[in-house]
């Protein structure tokens, strides 16, 4: 098979965002990259079912999300784990995913129900419309909206204690206390 | 798309406010963009090259 160069470019162009999505889903870079690899293999094996000119990122995200879901379900059957072990994984690997400064946020994100987490990321970070996110998740637009709203409310709840200290207007004071100069 | 309304009895703008919401959005994107900025790792460039050259006969699903 020879890939149409424009298709190949479109796939490659989506990879950075696919990785970011995968990492925020599984909280582990290595697993996320494996998931991306699996997604690409699956996508290219089924490239005929991709309609030229349609939304490549959305198509790839759908595949990745489905792969993640089936793996997640498998894992869940093995270890029934409400919220615990996922968050635990993150805690034990603070350096795994980029900056430590996001650790608190990441942990809070990890505590969200999977449905809400993916909806929030797709809309709030990946930049998909509610309609696209609904398509990716195979649900109604209204469902995505309510998941995003609930996710935001819940994150705000979780982070609100910290927000007094950490996200407050007092960043300058903190910077001085930490002895750090402006960046 | 004009129905971006909050749920009727909703709270997002009540107790927590736009300020916190904006910070959440900002953190979320910052975290995400951190990864996006890494670009395309070599392994995926190689993978596509490999797949491009040979016949892909993956399992059709």
Cα B19 from Cα A176, distance rounded (Å): 23
Q: Of all helices (H) and strands (E), which one includes residue A24?
A: helix A5-26
- What pLDDT score does A177 carry? 55
A residues 25-44 near B, CB within 8 Å? Answer: 33, 36-37, 40-42, 44
**Rounded Cα distance, A24 and B2, in Å:** 29
Low-confidence ranges of chain A (pLDDT < 50): 80, 91-98, 163, 165-172, 180-183
- What's the token pair of residue B5? 């309304």
ipTM passes above 0.95: no
Q: pTM (2 decimals)?
A: 0.74
Angle subtended by helix axes A141-165 and A130-137, to nearest 10? 110
Q: Are A96 and A29 in contact (CB under 8 A)?
A: yes
Residue ranges, chain B, pLDDT below 50: 1-14, 56, 58-61
Q: Which of A19, A22, A35, A141 to mutate to test the interface with B (most CBs of B within 10 A)?
A: A19
The confidence score (pLDDT) of residue A5 equals 86
**Residue A17's pLDDT is what?**
97
Cβ neighbour number for residue A7 with a 10 Å cutoff: 16
Contacts of B38 in chain A (CB under 8 A): 16, 19
Is the distance from CB of A1 to CB of B56 less than 8 angstroms?
yes
Looking at the partner chain, which of B48, B55, B59 has a beta carbon nearest the beta carbon of A12? B48
Give A-chain residues touching B1 at CB under 8 angstroms: 129-131
Give the gap in angstroms from C-alpha B18 to the nearest C-alpha of chain A: 10
Residue B8: the pLDDT is 43
Is there a contact between B12 and A156 if contact means CB atoms under 8 Å apart? yes
């Amino acid at each position: 098979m020879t890939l149409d160069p424009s298709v190949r470019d479109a796939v490659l162009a989506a990879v950075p965002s696919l990785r970011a999505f995968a990492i925020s889903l599984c909280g582990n870079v290595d697993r996320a990259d494996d998931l991306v690899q699996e997604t690409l293999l699956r996508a290219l094996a089924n490239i005929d079912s991709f309609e030229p000119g349609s939304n490549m990122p959305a198509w790839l995200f759908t595949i990745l999300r489905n792969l993640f879901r089936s793996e997640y379900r498998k894992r869940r059957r093995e270890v029934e784990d409400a919220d615990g072990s996922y968050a635990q994984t993150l805690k034990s690997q603070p350096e795994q995913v980029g900056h430590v400064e996001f650790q608190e946020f990441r942990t809070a994100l990890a505590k969200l129900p999977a449905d809400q987490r993916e909806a929030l990321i797709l809309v709030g970070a990946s930049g998909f419309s509610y309609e696209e996110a609904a398509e990716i998740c195979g649900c109604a637009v209204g469902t995505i909206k309510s998941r995003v709203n609930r996710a935001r409310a819940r994150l705000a709840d979780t982070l609100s204690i910290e927000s007094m200290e950490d996200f407050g207007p007092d960043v300058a004071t903190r910077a001085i206390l930490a002895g750090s100069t402006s960046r | 798309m004009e129905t971006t309304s909050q749920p009727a009895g909703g709270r997002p703008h009540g107790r927590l406010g736009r300020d916190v919401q904006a910070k959440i959005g900002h953190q979320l994107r910052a975290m995400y963009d951190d990864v996006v900025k890494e670009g395309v790792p070599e392994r995926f460039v190689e993978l596509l090259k490999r797949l491009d050259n040979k016949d892909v006969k993956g399992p059709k699903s």
